Chains A and B, each alone.
Chain A
Amino acid sequence: MSAPDLILLAMAIPLIGAVLIVLAGKSPNLRETVTFATAISLFAVVVSLVSGVFHGERPAVSLIEILPGLDIRFEIEPLGMMFACIASGLWILNSAYSIGYMRAKKEHAQTRFYACFAIAIFGAIGVATAGNMMTLFIFYEVLTVSTYPLVAHHQDAEARRSGRVYLGILLGTSIGLQLVAIIWTWFATGTLDFREGGILNGHLEGPLLGLLLLLYVYGIGKAALMPLHRWLPAAMVAPTPVSALLHAVAVVKAGVFTVLKVIVYIFGAEFLRETGTGDWLMYIAGATVLLASFVAMTKDNLKARLAYSTVSQLSYVILGAALFMPLSVVGAGMHIAMHAVGKITLFFCAGAIYVASGKTEISDMKGIGRVMPVTLFAFFVGALSVIGLPPMGGSWSKYYLALGAYDAGELVFIGVLMVSSLLNVAYLLPVVGRGYFSRPAGDDGSEKPAIKEAPMFCLIPLCLTAFGCLAMFFYADQLYQFLRPIGGG
């Protein structure tokens, strides 16, 4: 099959999967088999495209002209290729984890859950492979709408309230700001294609350029730039597999991915650097990095803490993009991958602890490491990666981000990155420390507690992703080489 056909196939697989999941709804085992088959075949198709892209190919295909001069168009470049690989690859592990989690918690409406999940992945793949801003926007909205039923899964008052925040912010910003930015771009340039070096050069200048950037970065609510980050903590009411894959990887990464795409291929990083109209963005991103870390420290609920940690980490990516340097942009791209693997591990662990012990608050997790040693160790590994310590993948992306800040002459942001790492240590490692070295109240340590891990379906995926954090450390250079074209260098 030719590469363009493979792109279309990659789009079709999750959709067909969603239909089959609904049809197989009566038989849970068959249904989960369908999910697995879909996820694995999707990953296979996506991976088959990698080597071509690495060698400089940019496979593209146009589907239909939706408005005069505007096609639904797919085109793969390195950044999107990487995002598609992450989303589809982690979907396989997450599907296994979902089975363990959803069955152990005896969740209702599981068919809806798996079907919406497949559609959300369809949206994420569409975002990753979109060949112009219009197509990207369409799939961005598919992702928003299809994840709403997952966020509101429990259908109680809290789910309803959170669902409102979630949909209100994401749909509101995308229609209220992003769409305007897109139409404005279209009006100014007559194209929405992603081109190397951007399309706006020569069409807009001065403060208007900065305003357009503002409309984009806040219109892309999924990037959770403060103060429009509230939807992400709200989304934590969802079952943990949703938080893990969607609200640590697919949805939020679609957000920062879109920001990167816009800066690199719509504005052109160099153009923004030269005009200096986008400099405010790095300060907002830097502030978000720190503020969100501080908020994370105050949260006792583990998922809430992880959510704020995600808000902070997402702004690393935005910061990297907003420094407008080749190295920082590549570093931002790498951070999408590194943080995805690290954070999904942490969420898997949080969910596993909830499944096995019913605990959600960090203060209740004293001594949890004696009961669930494997899970807590995986959490430790994931935490190291998120903090950015070797030998975990996260250290490399931080390294490149810092180099980028140095190149840009913005040394203060190296400081921001370092302080943020310290804050990460302060809010992630106590969970591990207390889990191993403290004892729950009323336990004098006279008897050794029995080991009670989560079901295998939960445990194996989180071990694999923890291993992934380690592996990424050693394969970081390949990733760097792969992403280098987006830096323009």
Chain B
Amino acid sequence: MIAAHLPALQIVLPLLSAPLCVLLVRARLAYALSLIVCWLAFAISIMLLGQVLDGGVISYRLGGWAPPWGIEYRVDLVNAYVLLIVAAIGALVITYAGPSVAREIGGGRETLFYTSYMLCLTGLLGVTITGDAFNIFVFLEISSLSSYILISLGTDRRALTASFRYLIFGTIGATFFLIGVGLIYQATGTLNLADMANRVEPLGASRTVQAAFAFMAVGLAVKAALFPLHSWLPNAYAYAPSVVSAFLAATATKVSIYVLIRTYFSVFGPEFSFEVMTLGPVLMVLSIAAMLIGSMIAIFQDDIKRSFAYSSVAQIGYMVLGIGFATVLGVTGGMLHLFNHALMKGALFLALGCLIWRTGSVSITAMQGLGKRMPWTMAAIVGGGLSLIGVPLTVGFISKWYLLLAAIDSGLWWVAVFILISSLMAIIYVWRLVEVAYLSPSPDGAPSGEAPLVMLIPTWVLVLANFYFGVDTRVSVGVATEAAKYLLGAGS
């Protein structure tokens, strides 16, 4: 009975818990509630993936209204996989949040944090699970509005301008998306994605469809922080509270990329997207620029959170590059990196949160001698960093393997060269941290001692996941390959 309603529960549970957090008033109670709900959401996402693997696509009619008139929650391999990523990160980050939120946010605003966090999680899960274009917009706005709040909770006053900037960009992005949806609705008369896909095809390359495609693609590119529309991201990640940086870096852009994939492949179909609209070269050029410029800027940042934020811009380039190949190998690489990058950046930002908890700073000077002062935190940064570089036995290696293989498979050698250059730049921006932390002596009176276990354990769970999924790739590669085949097969 309950099993049949899992798609609804996936959204309703976190949604309901958000106002409850406000009513609970006490931070501790709100934390406990969010903790339980997030882990439940994670459990549900696992069960959903299991159901999809067993029985194929799940179509859930919300309120019993049949699609295409009612809202349909549609879970296939692609979004079951993304749901799992979002929910898993959501659960790990909330577990970690207690002490970090108390120290960085505090002052009676903690319940506000938990409320926004749950809303944001709801929005991200909702975007992923829904099969309705307008519904995507609604959830996109839920997640965005709540993330503006989350970012503005940062201790640094620059968090406010960062949040405002994100608000402007996010609104433009969402509006563009909505315009695209409006145009396509005008042309097809439907908002249901599956139905839309059927009706778009006979329309061919009409101007309305092309305009709709362009609006949706650009709008989503803003939300996904694809270069050169990324400028909201670095400050937003740098000045947000640590928990928020970790959560958003690991999930928010991923969900936008998921919608991109959905739009390109499922709605418009690979033929229209990549042959009529020649999206391939556009995506490749932009993503390569993202990889090179993002990595380059990351090297010169003194603020480590900013450095990793720029690294995220580069890593988003990897994901989009994979999509740009529009081959099974390429899309597998992109989807894999979606998962793998969530693990890397989740681990790294959580480790930085431990650093802030102890020292109150993430400038590179605060890391002098950190190898001695916070050995476990620093080891976590090294572990995540190795994965970011793409050393074998880490997930980063697996992503790189597939992207390079896809480049060779498509005969695009020059793309392979850029992937490698960007990897080499990652060595630089990761290794300078290692040098400072292990080879420099600690300044006098520098705070030392580890962060609480509640924070360290989730961090290390993610770090170890980087290695575990770098060796045992059956789940990640298996699901990503199947999803890629499904996406590319759907259009033909």
Contact = CB atoms under 8 A, between A and B. Distances in A.
Interface of A: 64-68, 72, 137-138, 141-142, 145, 149, 152, 155, 159-160, 163-164, 167-168, 171-172, 175-176, 179-180, 183-184, 186-187
B424 A149 contact: no
Interface of B: 386, 389-393, 398, 400-401, 404-405, 408-409, 416, 420-421, 423-424, 427, 431, 435, 438-440, 471-474, 477, 481
Given A145-B386, A180-B416, A187 B408 contact: yes
Given A64-B471, A183-B405, 15 more contacts: A66-B471, A137-B392, A138-B393, A141-B391, A152-B439, A155-B438, A163-B435, A164-B431, A167-B431, A168-B427, A171-B427, A175-B427, A179-B400, A179-B404, A180-B404
Contacts of B401: 67, 179, 183
A142 B424 CA distance: 17
A142 B477 CA distance: 23
Query: In terms of DSSP, what is the predominant structure of the interface of chain B?
Result: helix
Query: In terms of DSSP, what is the predominant structure of the interface of chain A?
Result: helix
Contact of B472 (A64, A159, A163): A64
Contacts of A167: 427, 431
A164 B439 CA distance: 12
B409 A141 contact: no
A107 to B, nearest CB: 15
A175 B473 contact: no
Q: Which 5 A-B residue pairs are closest in the complex by CB-CB distance?
A: A138-B392, A155-B439, A176-B420, A183-B404, A187-B408
25 contacts: A64-B471, A72-B471, A138-B392, A141-B392, A141-B393, A142-B393, A145-B386, A149-B438, A152-B438, A155-B438, A155-B440, A163-B439, A164-B435, A167-B431, A175-B389, A175-B423, A175-B424, A175-B427, A179-B401, A179-B404, A180-B420, A183-B405, A184-B408, A186-B405, A187-B408
A239 B474 CA distance: 42
Nearest to B420: A176
Given A67-B477, A160-B435, A187 B409 contact: yes
A171 B438 contact: no
B427 A172 contact: yes
Contacts of A176: 420-421, 423-424
Contact of B473 (A67, A138, A145): A67
B468 to A, nearest CB: 11
Contact of B391 (A66, A145, A152): A145
A152 B420 CA distance: 26
Contacts of A164: 431, 435
A133 to B, nearest CB: 11
A186 B474 CA distance: 19
A187 B405 contact: yes
B408 A175 contact: no
B477 A68 contact: yes
B355 to A, nearest CB: 21
Contacts of A171: 389, 391, 427
Given A168-B427, A175-B390, A176-B423, A66 B404 contact: no
B146 to A, nearest CB: 38
Nearest to A152: B439
Identify which of A72, A175, A180 gathers the most chain B CB atoms within 10 Å of its CB. A175
Contacts of B391: 141, 145, 171, 175
Identify which of B392, B393, B438 gathers the most chain A CB atoms within 10 Å of its CB. B392
Contacts of B398: 67
Contacts of B400: 179
A168 B424 CA distance: 9
B104 to A, nearest CB: 32
A65 B440 CA distance: 40
A145 B427 CA distance: 12
Contact of A172 (B404, B424, B472, B474): B424
Contacts of A137: 392
A159 B439 contact: yes
A481 B439 CA distance: 48
Contacts of A180: 404, 416, 420
B303 to A, nearest CB: 22
A320 to B, nearest CB: 28
Contacts of A163: 435, 439
